Amino acid sequence: MATFTKEFEPLEHISRILTLWWVIVLCAVLGGAAGLIIHQFKPPLYEAQAVFMASIDFTKIDFSRSLLPSNPYQFSQYDEDISLALVEASLRHVEPQVVTFAQNNNLAMDVGAIEDMSTIERKHAFWYLRFRSSDPAIAQKVVNYWAQTGLADLKTKKAANLLPVYIFFDLNQLADLPSRPTYFQTNSFVLAGIVIGLIFGLFLVNIPIGKIRRDH
């Protein structure tokens, strides 16, 4: 009775991959293109942005805290980062109010959803508050309410002497109405498509590999 088995021959696999490399590359390119197309069919999101300015008046810092002249107090980059983080702290502190405002505008959101749809980012002396929504007007309204509420929280803390005296801040810019949608995670979709295409290409070129041996 004859039986059929397949022999795995690595050199033949490698040779076939090198010969048909263009098939693998083509599959990867098509996969990346498919990922991009799929991403473009996602519901568009509009991102609105408000900008804060926060900085430090070094003339108001008490550098005499150290009693040793040979080891004067130095305001490090870490100290500066911690001090300026009060802007983000206030914006996070007023998130429950932002949730209420969003819900009053027919957005079914809790604090977790607000954080998922927002970004708070610092670049040097500026803090950028961004909020995303499928409705550009809602994105603008939420981020502007959030920014103004956060500013009010900062001013209240400042008046109560709860902030360092050497910190000064302001709301530099409220959000304009977003005119164009912003697509997020584009690179992730394209990369996933490329990887899937590569895997499919490798599978495709190796389908015929294996010799059928007749055993008696």
Nearest to 196 by CA among 4, 18, 14, 38: 38
On whether both 143 and 93 belong to a single domain, the answer is yes
Helix (H, G, I), strand (E, B) or coil at 137: helix
On whether both 121 and 209 belong to a single domain, the answer is no
What count of other Cβ atoms lies within 10 Å of the Cβ of residue 85? 13
Nearest to 153 by CA among 215, 96, 216: 96
The answer to whether the CB of 193 falls within 8 A of the CB of 34 is: yes
On whether both 15 and 71 belong to a single domain, the answer is no
On whether both 166 and 92 belong to a single domain, the answer is yes
Nearest to 125 by CA among 58, 55, 60, 174: 55
Q: What is the pLDDT of residue 32?
A: 72
Is residue 215 very low, low, confident or very high in pLDDT (cuts 50, 70, 90)? very low
Q: What is the mean pLDDT of residues 124-151?
A: 93
Rounded to 5°, the CA angle 115-127-81 comes to: 100
Q: What is the mean pLDDT of residues 109-117?
A: 85
Q: What rounded mean pLDDT belongs to the chain?
A: 80
Q: Is the pLDDT of residue 194 over 80?
A: no
Q: What is the pLDDT of residue 16?
A: 72
On whether both 125 and 191 belong to a single domain, the answer is no
- Domain containing residue 132: 46-173
Stretch (H or E) spanning 169? strand 167-173
- Would you call 112 exposed, middle or buried from its count of C-beta atoms within 10 A (0-12, 13-18, 19+)? exposed
Q: What is the pLDDT of residue 79?
A: 80
On whether both 117 and 34 belong to a single domain, the answer is no
- H helices present in the chain, as ranges: 10-19, 21-40, 77-84, 86-93, 95-104, 111-116, 136-159, 186-205
Mean pLDDT lowest among 35-39, 177-181, 203-207: 35-39
Euclidean distance between CA atoms 26 and 140, whole angstroms: 42
- Residue 20 gets the label, from left (phi > 0), alpha (psi -120 to 50) or beta, of alpha
Q: Is the pLDDT of residue 125 over 70?
A: yes
Angle between helix 21-40 and 186-205 (nearest 10): 150
Is 179 a domain residue?
no
On whether both 73 and 10 belong to a single domain, the answer is no
pTM above 0.85, yes or no: no
Q: CA quadruple 27, 29, 33, 38: dihedral positive or negative?
A: positive
Residue 62 sits in a domain whose CATH number is 3.30.1890
Number of domains into which the chain is organized: 2
Euclidean distance between CA atoms 185 and 46, whole angstroms: 14
Q: What is the pLDDT of residue 27?
A: 77
